[in-house]
Amino acid sequence: MIKFDVLSIFPEMFSSPLNFSLLKKAQEKGLLNICLHDIRNWANDKHKMTDDAPYGGGCGMVMKVEPVEKALAAIRSPEDDSLVVLMTPQGETFNQKIAAQLAEKKQIIIICGRYEGVDERIREHLVDREISIGDYILTGGDLAALVLIDAVSRLIPDVLGNPESTLGESFSHNLLEYPQYTRPAEYKGWMVPDVLLSGNHAQIELWHRRESLKRTYQRRPDLLKKIKLSAEDKKNLEKIKLEDI
Ligand code: SAM
Residue 118: how many other CB atoms lie within 10 Å: 24
Which of these, 78, 65, 66, lies nearest to 3 by C-alpha position?
78
Distance, CA of 117 to CA of 173 (rounded, Å): 34
CATH 3.40.1280.10 segments of the chain: 2-163
Read off the pTM. 0.94
pLDDT tens for residues 144-167?
999 999 999 999 999 998 877 787
pLDDT tens for residues 53-89?
999 999 999 999 999 999 999 999 888 789 999 999 9
Distance, CA of 225 to CA of 221 (rounded, Å): 7
Q: Whose CA is nearest to atom 26 of ligand 1?
A: 88
User: Mean pLDDT score of the chain, rounded to an integer?
Assistant: 95
Helices 21-28 and 141-153 cross at an angle (nearest 10°) of 70
Residues 6+ positions from 240 with CB-CB distance below 8 Å:
210, 213, 214, 217
pLDDT tens for residues 33-56?
999 999 999 999 999 999 999 999
Give the DSSP H/E element, type plus range, for residue 206: helix 201-219
Task: Please tell me the distance between residue 114's alpha carbon and the centre of ligand 1 in angstroms.
Answer: 7
Distance, CA of 22 to CA of 107 (rounded, Å): 20
pLDDT > 70 in the chain, percent: 100
Task: Please tell me the distance between residue 117's alpha carbon and the centre of ligand 1 in angstroms.
Answer: 6
Which CATH topology does 167-243 take? Trp Operon Repressor; Chain A (1.10.1270)
Task: Please tell me the distance between residue 61's alpha carbon and the centre of ligand 1 in angstroms.
Answer: 13
Can you tell me which atom of ligand 1 is nearest the CA of 132? 24
CATH code of the domain made up of 2-163? 3.40.1280.10
Residues 6+ positions from 152 with CB-CB distance below 8 Å:
2, 99, 102, 103, 108
Contact assessment for residue 232 and residue 239, using Cβ atoms and an 8 Å cutoff: no
Distance, CA of 183 to CA of 191 (rounded, Å): 10
Task: Please tell me the distance between residue 89's alpha carbon and the centre of ligand 1 in angstroms.
Answer: 5
Q: Which of 123, 138, 147, 148 to mutate to test the pocket of ligand 1 (most atoms within 8 A of CB)?
A: 138
Q: With a 6 A CB cut-off, is 67 part of the ligand 1 pocket?
A: no
Task: Please tell me the distance between residue 42's alpha carbon and the centre of ligand 1 in angstroms.
Answer: 22
> What pLDDT score does 124 carry?
98
Computed on alpha carbons and rounded to an integer, the radius of gyration of the chain in Å comes to: 23
Which of these, 91, 154, 112, lies nearest to 14 by C-alpha position?
112
CATH 1.10.1270.20 segments of the chain: 167-243
